[in-house]
Amino acid sequence: MPDDEIILSELNDGDLVEQMHDDLYDGLKEEIEEGVRILLERGWEPYRILTEALVEGMRIVGIDFRDGILFVPEVLKSANAMKGGMFILRPLLAETGAPRAGKMVIGTVKGDIHDIGKNLVTMMMEGAGFEVIDLGINNPVENYLAALEEHEPDILGMSALLTTTMPYMKVVIDTMKEKGIRDDYMVMVGGAPLNEEFAKAVGADAYCSDAAITVETAKELMKRRHNLRADEAGAA
């Protein structure tokens, strides 16, 4: 073993998390998986590992990608390492045994292949007791419509990470309107370049800035929908 090799298990929590940011940057999947396991053994909550070690590390990768220091092949390796860590955390985040809170169909829009954020949202929603049907990436409007018909969810979620693909959300919502099914679902949208204003402009019910807020918002919308239906039933 070379003298300068870092033994992850010998680092204190702070140094380990920093080392994981570096390892994510370098796309070292096995090291990320080991780091996640060590933090779990030390009693860290899965959600804390996700946010402080993985999401924060990916934020740093994003800055250097933007600034032309990292390029697509390197960022793909980082994404792969991140997915390795997420794979370990996924069942733990879903392990709440909560009753079914609702059903959501989610997918990244046409032309867009970013899926890390969407996968995180899926994990957190499942953890909160939602059934989630994940359509994956690069979804044309037909995929969304077919999934709505097949799965009859309460919520349609759409993700977009590019300013060039985010307008496609309006195509999906407008098509739902044309078909007279828009109001049958709650539409939630998210992705780094979006904001509240955009969500309103495309006709979505809610903008979600991160996975935890997505869960809160979904619960809130489900409650509202439930109350509305109870009122309608009472009035009938």
- Shortest distance, position 12 Cβ to ligand B1M, whole Å: 26
Strand 206-208 to 186-190 pairing: parallel
Distance CA 196, CA 208 (A): 8
- Within 111-170, which residues bind ligand B1M (CB under 6 A)? 111-118, 120-121, 157-159, 161-163
Nearer to ligand B1M, 35 or 157 (CB): 157
| Residue 61-100 contact track with ligand B1M, rule CB under 6 A, x = bound | xx--xx-----x--xx--x---------------------
User: What is the maximum span of the chain, computed from C-alpha positions, in angstroms?
Assistant: 77
CA neighbor of 192 nearest in space, from 94, 87, 118: 118
**C-alpha distance from residue 186 to each of 38, 77, 147, 153, 214 (Å):** 39, 35, 14, 9, 12
Helices (H) and strands (E) in the chain, counts: 10, 5
Nearer of residues 21 and 118 to ligand B1M, judged by Cβ: 118
Candidates 46, 190, 198, 222: give the one binding ligand B1M (CB under 6 A).
Answer: 190
Q: 11 vs 141, which CB is nearer to ligand B1M?
A: 141
Outline where DSSP puts E strands in 34-138.
Answer: 102-108, 130-134
Residues contributing to the site for ligand B1M (CB under 6 A)? 55, 58-59, 61-62, 65-66, 72, 75-76, 79, 106, 111-118, 120-121, 157-159, 161-163, 188-193, 208, 210-211, 214
